[in-house]
Every structure is written in C-alpha cells, then in structure tokens.
Copies of this chain bind each other. A is one copy, B any other.
C-alpha cells in the first residue's frame, strides 16, 4: 500500500548501517551494544552443536512477550520482554517471534530470523511511525526479518522450542508458548532449556556492565530514600509507600522505569513479612519514628534487575536492641562475602550464615540457651528466624535461572536449607544475592514457643522482646570473580556509617563510598 510506504519512509533510524546499534535510555544512561544478543545466540548455537544436542539445520523457535489486556478493557498491563527472548534478541517491541537455525558454517554459527507484527496504517496515527523490516534488521542484527503472520516453518527438517519448568514458580515454559504455531519434526527441548539456563547464569562482560548500572542506580535511589525517611521522621502522616515512591522516582529519572519485582517497603512489625508490599498489603502502614525500615527494592535496566535491601532506623539512630540484631545479620554478610569465590557450594554459605546469626544473637543478647551445634542441627534459625534462603541467582529475572545444576532440585526435606533457591557450586561470572535476615514474626514465634523441644532451646523473654524490632535483611548483589567476589551495590552498611550518612555527617557516592560532606 502506498500509505504504508510513506509511513515507512518517515522512520528515523537513529543508528545508521555503519554505526553500532545499541540500547540506551538517553545521554546519562548506559549504552548497551545490541551485538551482545548476537553473541548470546552464537554461544547457544555453539553449545547445541558442540554437545550434539540438536542436528545441523535445526530451527529453534522463540516467542517474545506480547501486550496483555487488563481484563476486558482496552488498557494493557505493564510490559516486560520475556527473559529468554530478551537474552537472545534484546527486542523491546512486543509481539515478536524469532527463530535460530543452527548452521556451523554461518558467520555466527546460526541464521536468525525475527518475525515482527504487521501494523495497519492506523498505527501511524496512534502509536508512531511504522518501522520497516530493514529497521529491525539493522537494529537487532538478525539475518532476516519477516512479518509474524508470514511465519512458515513447514520446510524445517527439525524444530525445537524450550521445554522446562521454572524452578521458582513451578510454571512450565510451554505455557508461555502455548499452541502458537505448528512445529514440524519437533525434537525434545529440555536440553535446550538446560543450555540456556547455564548460559544465562554466567554473565558476560556486557551483562556485568548492565548489572553494575542497575545496582548503581538502585544504590543512589536507596541512598536518597534513606535521607528522605530521616528528613521526614517527625511526620506522623508518613506512610510506608512514600519511601517506595522516592525510590521509584530516582530509578525512573535514570531510565529504570520498571523495578524487577514488587517493592517491599516495610516498617517496624511489617518487616517480618518477607514479601510484604503486595496488593493485599500495599505498603500502607503509617511509619513511626522508632520503626526500623526494611526496604527491598531493585531497579531494572534493559530487563536486567538489581535486588537490594537496606535496613535502617527511621530516626537515623538505632536503639540498642535494633543495633544488636542488625549487627548479628551484618556479621553473616561479612562471613559469607569474606570467603565467597568460585568452587564453593552455596548451601555451605547458607548454613554458615545461619550459624553466625545464631552465634551473634546468643553472644549479644543471650537468645539461644542450647549449644550452637544443637541450635544448628535443629535448624532453628532456618525454621523460625530466617525462613528464606541466603540468596539466589540474579539477572533478567529477580529469582534468575540456574540456581540448581541441570537435573538437580531443591532438597525439600532438609530444613536447614529452607527456601534456598541457589544450591550448587558457584562459578566465576555468576551474579547472586547475599541476603541474610532475621525476622521476629509473631506467628513463627508462637509456633516456636509451643514446640516441645525447640521451645527449650531459646530464651522466650528475649525472643519476645525482639518482636517490635520486626525484622532485618541486608541484601547485596554480588559478582563472582576469578578468585573472589565483588559487591555491585554501594550503600552504607555498618551501624556507624548508616547513622552518619542519614544524619548528614558524611556523604556517600556509589562507586566511591564514604566521602566528606561537600
């Protein structure tokens, strides 16, 4: 249609044929070469061919995310690209499909085709200029672009699509792809799933830069939020969600409009609900000056997310009890980050963290009355105080893939590993969270104190005195390096630094740390 041609001609392709196409949200944000995604496709093709998991010529089919209506209305839910699709193609437009055909003789060991939605001319009025196929081809560095309604894989000698069940949600990936198109001569896709999860687990140089950016933006936003809470400490009308609004503003101003998971903006006793901040508990409690805040929020960029938790006193000054509990958790952070390196089993790190917490709470507050070995063998910390895992993989998903090696699963019977989403020997290039915590949840405390054996191993008076503290979590995003690890976020963590920063006695710049007040 002539009208279509006109619309196509008006496209402003920001990156010419010579320039390196990139993703960016503007001048002050990170530029990401989109060639990164072609590298990911090459890695996948290499692995599939080298391990003989699929024959030459196999066409692997991927479905990108699409817009979904809010019930029967004409508005859409928030959009994020599907994570495997993002990893391999980095396409921000909804409604795309793609194929990778394995070909060891091709430049990148594969031939890629992107299938884009075909828009009616009304798109040019309502949504913006209709971008031609050539725009998508040069932007996303694929070999070919077709319209999604033209897709025809009937000539393929072998096809494949991802087949696996997400370990954290229990949702089969096939539900994402459900009944979309007919794939002839379809091969089993479970090995593809394993290969992709292992590839996504080890971040490459560009991905590390993205994670650094998401963590830096998140650090700045947390820092700003700490000061905002302090400044407003005497406002009796202050609500938990005000801190969330502050964080999201700071992130959005730097191109991170989305967060990788629902913001957890607790205060005081709500700190004890691990995933507070959902629709039934929308961070809507008013904040008291004496409350500890527990803020678990992470900015997302190019679909990669940070996941950072800060715990600090609204008043800028810890009480004695808050301080002892906080420093018990911080000791666990130091114990783990001090030794974290490739080759260690994260299950051991989890057990180490819970032991340190038990030791510290006993040394400082006399919490446990039984010997620490007995406390640990009964897994009391995992049962009652830290009923979640020490950490998880982090990347395109908040609870990212790769937490267990292919074919391995959570040991549900081992209470000492309660909720642990990362149970394997760790490798260089992993990005994972270290997030020990300690919560004083009345429900779990009642359960504990009514247990015939466990109730005798704790000083109940001390335990109940901790209920108003609510809970503490300290969460870092950590890159595993060749011989150790590097924390990607940068926020005051010691009691002294938190108090000094909040009260304005020092400043803090992510990447530089503590600096004198300007």
Chain A interface residues toward B at CB < 8 A: 3, 6-7, 10, 25-28, 65, 67-80, 82-83, 92-94, 121, 124-129, 165-166, 168-169, 171-173, 175-176, 236-237, 239, 241-242, 244-246, 248-249, 252-253, 255, 257, 260-262, 270, 273-276, 278-282, 284, 286, 387, 397-399, 441-444, 446-447
Contact = CB atoms under 8 A, between A and B. Distances in A.
Contact of A245 (B67, B252, B387): B252
Contacts of A441: 124-125
B172 A72 contact: yes
A402 to B, nearest CB: 13
Contacts of A82: 71
A114 to B, nearest CB: 14
Contacts of A242: 252-253
A25 B239 contact: yes
Contact of A286 (B26, B168, B239): B26
Q: Is the interface of A mostly helix, strand, loop or mixed?
A: loop
A10 to B, nearest CB: 5
A26 B237 contact: yes
Contacts of A270: 128
B65 A83 contact: no
A421 to B, nearest CB: 9
Given A28-B237, A92-B282, A443-B10, A127 B276 contact: yes
A175 B71 CA distance: 8
Contact of A273 (B126, B169, B261): B126
A241 B252 contact: yes
Contacts of A172: 72
Contacts of A79: 278-279
A406 to B, nearest CB: 17
Contact of A249 (B27, B125, B248): B248
A6 to B, nearest CB: 5
Contacts of A280: 92-94, 127-128
19 contacts: A10-B442, A68-B68, A68-B77, A70-B80, A71-B83, A72-B165, A72-B171, A73-B399, A74-B171, A74-B399, A77-B78, A92-B282, A94-B279, A125-B387, A127-B276, A127-B278, A127-B281, A128-B280, A245-B249
A125 B444 contact: yes
Please provide the 5 A-B residue pairs with the shortest distance between their CB atoms, ordered closest to farther. A245-B252, A74-B169, A249-B249, A27-B237, A74-B168
Given A125-B444, A245-B249, A76 B26 contact: no
